[in-house]
Amino acid sequence: MNVVIRAAKPTDVPSIFELIKELALYEKAPEQVSNTSKGLEEDLFEKNLCQAIVAEIDAEIVGFALHYTSYSTWKGACLYLEDFYVKEDKRTLGIGQLLFDEIIRIAKESKVKRMDWQVLAWNEPAIRFYQKQQAILDPEWLNGRLFFE
């Protein structure tokens, strides 16, 4: 099995967007996805609001990670890992670790002081994965949100 980890290209976006919808379904919030594949393509490759990497096996996109530069008044520029997903039937092959390692490499290369993400408190397989990465998982903060849709 030959897994390729590489930067996403515009032609990958429809596949990435399918994975985004799969992840939203797993996170029990499929109705919250109002973004579109076309919008995501613009945001990645025209507006440069975010960047993505993909995991590919035999020309099939089986996982991805999407990140952007966030900001901490305490630390300065940070890398925010917004989405990170491997298709269910491709798990346990180590693909998540390859993607996560590449994100850490990108974070270090861009000299950020911190990398952040969120995980649902009930998502035990993901929590176990992050614990293996020696990550801090902090339950102290609530997410505040206002919607303008």
Contact residues toward a second copy (CB under 8 A) are 20, 23-24, 29, 32-35, 39-40, 43, 47, 49-50, 66, 68-77, 80-83, 104, 107-108, 112-122, 127, 130, 133-149
Q: Which is nearer to a second copy, 50 or 57 (CB)?
A: 50
Considering the complex, what minimum distance in angstroms separates the CB of residue 32 from a second copy?
Answer: 5
Alpha-carbon distance 116 to 1, whole Å? 31
Query: H-helix or E-strand containing 80?
Result: strand 76-86
User: Do residues 85 and 22 touch, judged by C-beta distance below 8 A?
Assistant: yes
DSSP structural state of residue 23:
H
Considering the complex, what minimum distance in angstroms separates the CB of residue 97 from a second copy?
Answer: 14
Q: Which is nearer to a second copy, 78 or 95 (CB)?
A: 78
Alpha-carbon distance 50 to 70, whole Å? 10
Q: Which is nearer to a second copy, 59 or 142 (CB)?
A: 142
Q: Which is nearer to a second copy, 45 or 130 (CB)?
A: 130
130 is annotated as an active-site residue:
yes
Considering the complex, what minimum distance in angstroms separates the CB of residue 136 from a second copy?
Answer: 4
Considering the complex, what minimum distance in angstroms separates the CB of residue 22 from a second copy?
Answer: 11
Catalytic residue among 26, 71, 80, 130: 130
List the beta strands (DSSP E) in 2-113.
3-7, 51-57, 60-72, 76-86
Strand partners, 5: 55
Question: How large is the angle between the packed helices 37-45 and 13-26, nearest 10 degrees?
Answer: 120
The residues annotated with a catalytic role in the active site are 130
